[in-house]
Structure 1
Amino acid sequence: MDIFFEHLSGERFCIEVGFFDTVLEIKEKIQKYQNIPAAAQTLIFNGEVLRDESNVLSSDLVHNSCIQLISSCPEKAATKAESSPPLSPAASRVQLLINIPTSKSQQFPLCMHSRGTIGELKENIYAVMETLSVQQLVLYSDGSELQDHSSLHQSGLLDGSEIDVGFMAGARGTSCFKKLKVMVVLPRCGGKKTAVEVNGSDKVRVLRMELDKLQKCLQFYLPKDGYYFIYKEHMMDEDRSFRWHHVGQGDTIDISPTSISTHWP
């Protein structure tokens, strides 16, 4: 069957694969036909990084499936390096490690020019995740939010820097509202958390709406019979604001089923 592969640039190509071909064997075919080293490839399907040992069948790939292909920065040829002056730190390419908060550990490399902006970085991440809008993405490095207008170099991002992807609740408000990054413990994910940005004045039910939107993308499950939020061991009133509950920057909020008899899907 035929599988399509798409670069971040939007370029596509097609390769024929077998039902029991492993992801590593697919990468080797890409290396053969596209001259991209297998070790430099990251393949992403439906928001998940495909592991080398899995095969077409176990990865739910079907005829005409489209896989995102991300390749790490190519090595500069020796002859080119000799004939060209070295690039300054502000004029080089860097490979960033993007951490996506899903039920499985997800990290993929993304290569960009250091003069590229954080806004452009968001667009490249969106091209991989697809299910979220660029406006919903919030990027963090070492716990600090990255600003769209700043370049990678201005933001202190170097080769190998890790970027954490968070999600913003609704549209950004005016500057008079205090922005909060709250950490929500994802159900059935071994204590894994995801960052969601809200206004301090938002009512807590906004968080419920955002989790409903993110549930499919992040591959976690909410209790079928209902749930409520727990902050500092107390149930939150969803008709009250985060500010009313004294939620602070980076605070953790837990999800609890409405009863102990609640069944998870």
Structure 2
Amino acid sequence: MKIQILTHTYTLTIEVETQETILEIKRKVEYYLGVPISSQTLSVCDWELLDGLDLDDYPIVTEGTKIDLTINNHIPAIEIRRQIHITVKFSSRKHNIEVDKTETVGSLKEKIHIIDGTPIKQMTLWFLGVEMDEDFRKLSDYGVDEYSEIIVFLKTTSRMVAEPPSRKLRFVVQTSSALLDSTCIPLEMKDSSTVYELRELLLVRKLLPIDDYIFIHKQRIMRENCSLRWHGVENDDYLYIFKGTVSRG
């Protein structure tokens, strides 16, 4: 059956079995949202769900039940989500964007392209008077932090350079035991391929039944319209797949 895990930021829909323990559900939440098990309290109508019991012990939990997730106060939300808010400023417009401090300059350019439509090869990014000229470096390497403002300058045609060519990635998709008995699926795709294209490949090859799925890389939820390169996937990395959907509140 499907249940919903509610936080102030996310509504997470996941597939569970009635025999699953509360602890097993917390493990899934840790995979999806990066919240440590020790920092989670799950409750329904202010009734705390205890780790040692399973869903059969709670008849109030049925199909579509909404379970509240409380995160212990000593873990700051920004640390758990690793997200910061920045402003990307053009000469005539600006965008407020949520990013991860560990993202690279290259992945930020891809995100700007998705939001604004500006070609990646035309962008130069500047922060505090310094050009962010190395796409492989992390935003934190340049000192980017919460509410930082990054300036986007557009290159003239004579200064334009080609985007980095796509390259092949070898990685492994690890399914959950509820899907295919914890199957490991080795794959090879271009790093410019999106998560949506990865999902379609798995469906076309009949490696997965048709359903809603969440892909996880390094405890971060992957976005369907973003590329493997954007998510920082490297050779021999593992991607984890579970049934369910997640929406941002």
One fold, TM greater than 0.5? no
> 1 or 2 for the larger relative contact order (CA 8 Å, sep ≥6)?
2
Q: TM-score, normalised by structure 1?
A: 0.31
TM-score (norm 2): 0.33
